[in-house]
Amino acid sequence: MNIQNVNVNHLVHAYKIAPWRIQRQWIGSAFGVLVALAMVATIYLDVTSKAAIAGREIQDLTASITISQQVSADLQTEYATLTSSSIMKQRALELGFRPVKSREVEYLVVAGYVEIEPDILSSAPLPQLSALSILPEYNESLLDWADEQIAMSSRELR
């Protein structure tokens, strides 16, 4: 029993002091650090590229909005020109209409008729961009993301 224990201890000791084992430990540790750095770099690159693409899309969309607004204003003005007072009058005359005289107008008293009020002239509400409308992925840093993930995990554990 004692002889066996001595042999085992000897082997363990021999294993512990073996020079190749220490080298492997160092290599393993260095490799582990390298892998960790590579992972961080990969994630960082991924998030950065996504953010860059999203940023470019925002710039493109902003430009599109500006162009659409310009086109809309142009069309509105063109429509107003085509329906201007002088053009509408000219078209009416060409279609055979003529201005009415006051004696030709007949007014009828209609019981219960309520004159329709003109629509309130009001433009549509403008879209309100707010910080909440942009996903956090597009403006948070890697540290923010990691922080959020940790916070989320801890919330789930609780």
Partner 1 sequence: MRQQYARRTQVLTFVMGLIAFAIIVQMTRIQNSAEAAIFRQQASNYAYELRTFYPDRGEIYDRNGHLLAGNKSIYEIGVDLTTVKDPNAIATAVSVELGIDFAKILDAIQNPPEGLSYVVIADFIEAKQAMTLQELKKTLEEQAPEGVRGPLTGLEFKSHPQRSYPENALASNIIGFVNREGRGYFGVEEKYNTLLAGNPVQVLVPTDPNKASEIIRVPDGTTLVLSINRDLQAAAEQILDESLITYEAQGGTIVIMDPRNGELLAMAVTPRMDLNQFWNYGSIYNRANEFNPAVSMPYEPGSVIKILTMAAALDSGAVIPGTTYLDTGSILVGGATIQNWNQEPWGVQDMTGCLQHSLNVCMATLSTQMGAGTFYSYMDNFGFGHLTGVDIAGEAAGRLKLPGDADWYPVDLGTNSFGQGLTATPIQVMMAASSVANHGRTVTPHALYAMVRDGRQYNVPAQFAGSPISAQTADMLSGMLAVSLEAEDSLALVPGYRIAGKTGTAQIPVDGYYDSTQTNASFIGWGPIDDPQFMIYVWLERPATSIWGSETAAPVFGEMAEKTIILLDIPPDTIRQQLVAK
Query: What residues make contact with partner 1 under the rule CB under 8 A?
Result: 48, 51-56, 58-59, 62, 69-71, 73-74, 76-81, 83-86, 89, 100-103, 105, 107, 109, 111, 118-126, 128-129, 131, 134, 139
Residues 6+ away with beta carbon under 8 Å from 148: 136, 140
Tell me which residue of 56, 48, 39, 41 sits closest to 137, measured CA to CA: 48
CA distance 42 to 44: 5
The least CB distance from residue 77 to partner 1, in Å, is 4
Q: What's the min distance (Å) between Cβ of 158 and partner 1?
A: 34
Query: Least separation, in Å, of the C-beta of 119 and partner 1?
Result: 8
Q: Which is nearer to partner 1, 66 or 153 (CB)?
A: 66
In the structure encoding, which two tokens stand for residue 53, read together?
């693409």
